[in-house]
Every structure is written in structure tokens, then in C-alpha cells.
Amino acid sequence: MKQMLEEMTNECMTHLFPFWEEMIDRRWGGYYGKMDFDLELCKDADKGCILNSRILWTFSTAYLVLKNPKFLPYAKQAYDFLQRAFLDRERGGVYWSVTADGAPSDEQKHTYNIAFAIYGLSAFYDATKDENALRTARDLMNVIEEKCRDSAGYLESFSVSFGPHPNEQLSENGVMADRTMNTLLHVMEAYTELNRVSPSKETEEKLKKILLLFRDKLYNPEKERLEVFFDKDYRTLIDLHSYGHDIEAAWLIDRTVKVLGAEGTQYDLSHITKTLTEKIYTDAFDGHSLPAECEEGRVLATRIWWVECEAVIGFLNGYERTGNEKYLDASKQVWEYIRDHIVDRRKGSCWYAEVSQDGTPNPKKAIADEWTCPYHNGRMFFEVLKRIKKRG
């Protein structure tokens, strides 16, 4: 574990974080929105709010975990741009994307996108005690609760004025979903972070209801997995096992229960999270990495950067929860796969977004864009560091 941590520390401090530090747009603010596979920096590309929010969370958390003030200016760069360009102060919420100079580009409102803004703002508040960041996070939570849900749970995509809008951004595999496991997972993550830095009964109650949705609506006990895409009545739309989301959900649900202090209550879903972890280990882990997903019984063998990062955390979490050292070994093996196949050693690059089963990078996938960011890999480092420190 210590060797794995040393390697991760070196990767993040000398490669990952410096790459994103260099992505600052000093002319228009925020961070550049894209670097293509050939390492061409696309300075005129639109800037996604998800990318900006994840950068905000990453550098805020780097300051909190590493106690290094050098990271605060990078967090503030993302915070200032979120406040200036992404917030819709007239209708509420945040835009999906803006132009390079900060004008609204894709004005749709999406629950997932708003959740990540809350996530980043909460960490920035924890790092700086900036009350305006906390107010903005709470205002955005109220937007989600008032405009992005119905009596049965959270909905997905809306027009700029929160009218109907197709959920193109978070629907895949030939379906158009009214609800997704992915959005609920990250609303939970965002609310957990907000409640960690500023606890309230209101947020706690919302988190408890989300945990029950996972238990009662999303978890499939027969297949021992979370379903992914749903209609409004929570009928699943496709036979899909998302390996990355299940291993991610396993440890994020455990974290929410811990932040709530709900161990041993009806909201403790450890029976589900342990099952999810074991199912991924037996069905997906091949001894060194995880394929992306399995649809209709067909495995997509592609290795995706964020799936591998979540496997490192999820298996380490499984080891801590059960004491079974096979999970510890799996965590180490996946890290070594990341180190050897996904970290891009080309000068001026960062990580490959996607590689084939034999480790060949996909040249159609950008090195940085609205989805490819320092969040999953940075969070992997922070989680491993915190867990190893806790063990002494």
C-alpha cells in the first residue's frame, strides 16, 4: 500500500496536477476546455461547467488534504469563473457550457451538472470559509429540489427555463432516460459533501431519501447490481451492467452513510455495497483491470480511465469493509495497470481517456475536455492517501 501511495503521490504532484495548472486560461478566465489527442490546446473551445466544477473540487481538496497553499489560487481560478460565467442568476442553476470568453453556449440545465457545482463549491467553502460559496451551493441545492425533481425522485435535463428537454447528455446505449443511476449517485455525492462541510437536518433528510431510492428502486437483488437507465416509473430501459458505476457507488454510498452517522440504521446499505463490490470482483476484474460495461451479455472490453480509478478506491474500500486481502491486491493491480497503460508519458500530456484491452490508446478521445478532468484520478489519490494515513 505504501509503495502504491508513493507512486500515486509522484504521479499527481509531478504530472497530473501540474498539467491542469497549465490549463489556466489567463486571458478569459477559468480553464481551457479542450486538448485533443495530438496535444493541440484548443484555446477557443467551449468550457464545460462539469469540467470547471471538478477542477474547483480537485484543487480545493488538494489544499485540504495536502495542506499546501499553492493549490488555493488554482481553486479560486475555477471558483471565480463559475460565479462569473456559469451561474444563471436570472433563472437559477448553471449552464451546461459557455464559450471560451464566458458567454452562455449550451444553456440547458441538468441536475447532474448542478450537482457537480454544489460539490465543487462545498469543497471550496471548506478550504476558504468563503460564505458566498456556501450560499451559492445551498441556493443550487434548492434549485435541484424545487425544479429538478418530482414526488418520486430526481429528473434529468431541462431547458434554460427548466422546461422539458431531452436527456441527451446522460443517455447512452440507444435509450433516452427520464432518470439515471448516474445522476442520483452524484446528487448524493454533492449533498454529502455539502452536509460534511455544513451539516443541516434538511440535507440529512434528503440524503436519507436518496439512500432509500438506491435500496428500493435502483438495486436489483437478483442480478446483484444497480440498474442504470429508467423511465419515470423506475422501469429499467436496458440490460446493462455498468462496472465502473457500481464499484464507484459501493464506496460513495458507504461514505454517505458514514457522514450521516447512519451505520446500523435502515439507511445503512452495507449489505448492498459489499455485494456490489464482490460482484464486480467476480464478474469484471480480470486480474489487472476492469472493462467498461456489459450490455445484453456482451462485455465492452475498452478500459476507461475513470472506471479504473474507481476500481482502485472501490476495492480498497472493500478490503477495509471486509478484511479480505483479495480486494487489496485487486486495488494494487488496477493501479499498476493505470500506471503502465493509462498515464500518458508524452511531454505536455496527462492521461489517456480510453485504451483497448491490450493498452493501445484511442486516438479519437481527447486528453482533456468537458468530461476528461482531474476529478476521478485526483480523488483516487486523496482517498488512498487518507485511508493509508488512517491505518498508520
Which pLDDT score, from 0 to 100, does residue 390 have?
A: 87
Structure confidence at residue 391 as a pLDDT band (50, 70, 90): confident
Residue 247 near residue 276 (C-beta atoms within 8 A)? yes
* pLDDT (mean) for 342-359: 96
Which pLDDT score, from 0 to 100, does residue 279 have?
A: 98
Which pLDDT score, from 0 to 100, does residue 225 have?
A: 98
Q: pLDDT of 236-284, one tens digit each?
A: 999 999 999 999 999 999 999 999 999 999 999 999 999 999 999 999 9
DSSP 69: G
Give Dmax over CA atoms of the chain in angstroms. 54
Higher per-residue pLDDT: 248 or 390: 248
pLDDT at 392 over 80: no
Residue ranges per domain, the chain? 2-391
Residue 157 near residue 167 (C-beta atoms within 8 A)? yes
CA distance 378 to 186: 17
CA distance 113 to 169: 10
CA 98 to chain CA centroid, Å, is: 21
* pLDDT (mean) for 153-179: 97
pTM of the model: 0.98
* pLDDT (mean) for 221-248: 98
Q: pLDDT of 73-109, one tens digit each?
A: 999 999 999 999 999 999 999 999 999 999 999 999 9
Q: Distances from the Cα of 175 to the Cαs of 14, 101, 156, 227, 372, in angstroms?
A: 41, 34, 14, 13, 23
Structure confidence at residue 234 as a pLDDT band (50, 70, 90): very high
Architecture (CATH level 2) of domain 2-391: Alpha/alpha barrel (1.50)
Which pLDDT score, from 0 to 100, does residue 16 have?
A: 98
Please state, rounded to an integer, the average pLDDT across all residues of the chain.
98
